[in-house]
């Protein structure tokens, strides 16, 4: 429906920003829900998780429009599952690079606690890469 029509438009630029904002909102609500759970406020937790789900639906709607337009999002192609797994693999590699930079910067600035926490996350990112690699191999 949107094929090639979005590319280069201001709408496309705003759609990408809106997608990122919805993703941010989804995770913010999930984190708030976890805090409500820790406080024993279970009805609030449930409501916040519902709001998070709603943001997820919005993000998916935005993403689908970008996908239908064959838009390249952050330099990545969006396609079928095998394409998406390959995209995710590349993206996880970038996360590892970002972690390395963050660890080095945090150490340079004397923020050892930050560096150590990011090192733990970096190990997870490497595990994600191996997992995605094995998922790709299951399909091809």
Q: State the nearest-atom distance from the C-beta of 91 to Fe ion, in Å.
A: 8
- Rg of the chain, C-alpha, whole Å: 18
Strands, DSSP E only, in 60-139?
none
C-alpha distances out from residue 137 to 1, 29, 32, 47, 106, Å: 32, 35, 37, 39, 36
Regarding 125 and contact with Fe ion (CB under 5 A), the answer is yes
Question: Tokens in use for 121?
Answer: 């996350």
Q: What are phi and psi of 5, to 5 degrees?
A: -75, -25
Q: Which is nearer to Fe ion, 77 or 95 (CB)?
A: 95
Site string for Fe ion, 6-45 (x = CB under 5 A): ----------------x-----------------------
Regarding 58 and contact with Fe ion (CB under 5 A), the answer is yes
Residue 85 · residue 136 · CB < 8 Å: yes
Q: State the nearest-atom distance from the C-beta of 3 to Fe ion, in Å.
A: 25
Site string for Fe ion, 91-110 (x = CB under 5 A): -x--x---------------
Residues at the site binding Fe ion, with contacts judged by CB under 5 A: 22, 55, 58, 92, 95, 125, 128
């Amino acid at each position: 429906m949107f094929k090639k029509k979005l590319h280069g438009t201001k709408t496309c630029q705003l759609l990408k920003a809106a997608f990122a904002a919805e993703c941010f909102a989804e995770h913010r609500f999930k984190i708030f829900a976890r805090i409500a759970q820790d406080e024993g406020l279970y009805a609030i937790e449930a409501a916040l998780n519902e709001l998070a789900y709603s943001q997820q639906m919005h993000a998916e709607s935005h993403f689908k429009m970008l996908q239908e337009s064959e838009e390249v999002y952050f330099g990545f192609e969006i396609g079928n599952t095998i394409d998406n797994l390959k995209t995710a693999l590349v993206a996880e590699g970038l996360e590892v690079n970002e972690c390395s930079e963050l660890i080095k910067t945090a150490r340079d600035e004397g923020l050892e606690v930050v560096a150590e926490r990011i090192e733990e996350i970096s190990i997870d990112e490497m595990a994600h890469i191996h997992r995605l690699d094995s998922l790709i191999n299951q399909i091809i």
